[in-house]
Structure 1
Amino acid sequence: MSARPHRLDPDRVVEHLPRLYRAARAWTGSREQAEDLVQETCAQLLARPRLVRGDDLGYLLRALRNTMISGHRSSLRRPQTALLPDDLPASDRLGDPVAALAGHELRRAIAALPEAFRDAFVAVDVVGLSYDEAGRLLEVSAGTVASRLSRARDRLARELDGTSDDPGERRAE
């Protein structure tokens, strides 16, 4: 049974910005890219009225993910630039260097996950959705979300412990 369509309310979008930002940060691995992604997504969504079926958060997360994928595809057509050590964001140079390194390593490890695992991890562990909500968002069953989430957590733990050289990890999922 499908929910009745309703207009996306801009005031309700604002309520979801922290969750959207956390999801974008986990997907992109960068504070600046996450902010840009959320801003671009909101600008596109609010440029014209939208009809939404179901809950607003699920719609917003799908739109965020689609914006990210579109941006990634278009960036593949642009020349790539390298980030030099002096060009690191000031936020990574200030404060506790150990914490900054740990946060960077975690974001890098999340970004390196296969897309299906990363999406499940971000939906449940970063955004805070239930398995059922994540399943609806990702269009899979709650059991599939649980399986992907378990595998994502295992890979992250191995990667962060430095034991990711498992030959079984290379097989296709």
Structure 2
Amino acid sequence: MTHPASGPADPFDPPDVTWDRVSPRLVPARLVVVGFWLGLPLLVCLVLALAVTGWLWIPAAVCAVLLLWIGLLVPRQVRAIGYAERDDDLLIRKGILFRELVVVPYGRMQFVDVTAGPLDRRLNIATVQLHTASASTDAEIPGLTPDEAERLRDRLTARGEARLAGL
């Protein structure tokens, strides 16, 4: 569907929506996890390639290339995460190549969780998890500051209760 004056419509960027971004501290949080899962095998392969056999340079090179690629990709992925509160629903978008837009009506929300693991607490970020009447429409917003996560949790809970009371 196209609009004559504005060109093709973008389903991932509705008109009149101002997107809020997550904290850039989510980038190092994700890089630390990836560094652990790929860096440890890289180190093991390098040590064994030097000590035992040379063919282990191949998996070491694969791990190194993956680390570099993910190191370049993660900051772009984090910048692509956004959320917007509207009158009747919450919009959450993410993704670069495979884009996703989740619309969560306030009346469908059952409860809202705020979580933060040890690394998240160290980097002063938290994740807001939205649980709805249908498990397939649960959504999360990672990388929020604790104050924003608490504010969003309270606001979404209040809006959800108000919508349920109106049914």
Identify the TM-score tier after normalising by the shorter chain. under 0.3
* Structure with the larger RCO, 1 or 2 (CA within 8 Å, 6+ apart): 1
TM-score, normalised with respect to structure 2: 0.27
TM-score, normalised with respect to structure 1: 0.27
Where is the strand percentage greater, Structure 1 or Structure 2?
2
Q: Which has the larger radius of gyration?
A: 2
Where is the helix percentage greater, Structure 1 or Structure 2?
1
